[in-house]
Amino acid sequence: MPIYTLTMKSQEQLRMLILAVLERQPEHGYAIAQAIKARSEGLLTAKEGTLYPVLHALENEGQIQSQETEVAGRVRREYRLTEKGQKEVARLRGDWKRQISAVGAVLGGEV
Amino acid sequence: MTLETWLHEALGNYPTGVQRRLGGEYRTHLVDSVAAGRGGDPVQVLGDPQRVAQALKRSYLTRTEWDWWSGADKSLGFMPFLEGSIVLMAVFAPSHAPLPYAPLLMAVTLIMLLAVRRVLRDRPPGLRFLLSVSISVLLGGLNQLLALGLTWTPTVFNLSLGMLGLAVVLGMCFMFTLIYPRYRARAYQTQRLQQAGPL
């Protein structure tokens, strides 16, 4: 049972996680959702319906692109990171590390 | 809830192109979920369809918005009358300015609005109406301010009226800059899916 569920409030985090998953390799929607869950060891999860509006928003912004591929006789839409998306994920990662560092400095101890 | 009901609640308010593309993706997603042994309850796997419908508004026009934008909406039939009335108001707005400014301002406004109409002739009907009316109201407001300035007598009433007019013009510019680009982006993304083939 996940202890933290991504909500609409954390759409920005979901964008970042999607871009990070696609940085490794192109994936289809279901695999992206499972990759987020697996890499966070089940701590991060989202109601998967909200994944596609974010994927479409990212595609419309040119951060990712998609194309239909046929896998085992089934047509799927595979998403891949664009050059613009690669720059964006690098920027988001930097911002996130700075945030973590700042919060850690305030909290003190081992974060 | 069946998948079809879920899809209807999530996508029913969107044009066919959006329904086709996202419907295909959600169907595939649920098939993958069943294949992975996670079950096929759409609410359990995909969540609240209303939230999806709300989230999609960031990227796409709703069916009503699309119909209006693309000219399919029947209410657009009345738009030329409304548009014509607003254009006439913009043209006659400076009529109380002193000679020779009144006919000069009216002629310049008319020429500008005809030029705008020519530039916009190949645009989608909704966009054409929106831009034409906005520019007409803006010109009409500026004409009022000019006419007011030319007949200026410093009274509290005139000052208040002038400030109000200026606030309306600036407010419209602000709203148009803020809202229109986002609306246009959503319209073009919707158009892209409307023109795309099936998944």
ipTM for this model: 0.84
Nearest residue to B18 (alpha-carbon basis) of B74, B71, B72, B58: B58
B59: nearest CB among A8, A33, A57: A57
- What share of chain B has pLDDT > 90, as a percent? 32
Residue of B nearest to A60 (CA): B189
Contact with chain A for residue B49, Cβ under 8 A: yes
Q: Give the mean model confidence (pLDDT) for residues B14-34.
A: 94
- Across A44-58, B44-58, B77-91, B112-126, the highest mean pLDDT is recorded for B44-58
Mutation for B interface: A56, A58, A79, most B CBs within 10 A: A56
> pLDDT band for position B76 (50/70/90)?
low
Chain B closest-CA separation from residue A49 CA (Å)? 4
Mean pLDDT taken over chain B: 85
Cβ atoms of B61 and B186 closer than 8 Å:
yes
Mean pLDDT of B4-27: 95
Position A111 pLDDT exceeds 70: no
What token pair was written down for B107? Answer: 């002629």
**What's the average model confidence in pLDDT over B95-122?**
87
pLDDT digits (tens, 9 = 90+) for B82-96: 788 888 888 888 888
Mean pLDDT (chain A, rounded): 85
User: Among A50, A68, A76, whose Cβ lies nearest the Cβ of B51?
Assistant: A50
Query: Is this structure's pTM higher than 0.80?
Result: no
Whether the pLDDT of residue A78 is over 90: the answer is yes
Distance from CA of B33 to the nearest CA of A (A): 8
Burial class (CB in 10 A: 0-12, 13-18, 19+), B102: middle
Of B26, B31, B32, the CB nearest to A52: B26
pLDDT of B148 reads 75
Which has the higher per-residue pLDDT, B187 or B96? B187
For residue B100, whether the previous peptide bond is cis, meaning omega lies within 30 degrees of 0, is yes
Q: Which residues of B touch A28 (CB under 8 A)?
A: 28
Cα B81 vs. chain centroid, distance in angstroms?
18
pLDDT at A5: 53
Chain centre to alpha carbon of residue B131: 9
- Residue A110 pLDDT grade (very low, low, confident, very high; cuts 50, 70, 90): low
> Which residues of chain B lie closer than 8 angstroms to A52, CB-CB?
22, 25-26, 29, 52
Q: Check residues A87 and B152 and name the one with the higher pLDDT.
A: A87
pLDDT at B174: 77
Burial of B183 (0-12, 13-18, 19+ CB in 10 A): middle
Chain B from 55 to 74: CB within 8 A of any A CB: 55-56, 58-60
Close Cβ partners of A14 (under 8 Å, ≥ 6 residues apart): A6, A46, A50, A51, A54
Distance CA A21, CA A31 (A): 9
Is the confidence at residue B11, as pLDDT, over 70?
yes
Give the pairing of strands A4-6 and A44-46. Answer: parallel
Residue A28 CB-density burial (10 A; 0-12 exposed, 13-18 middle, 19+ buried): buried
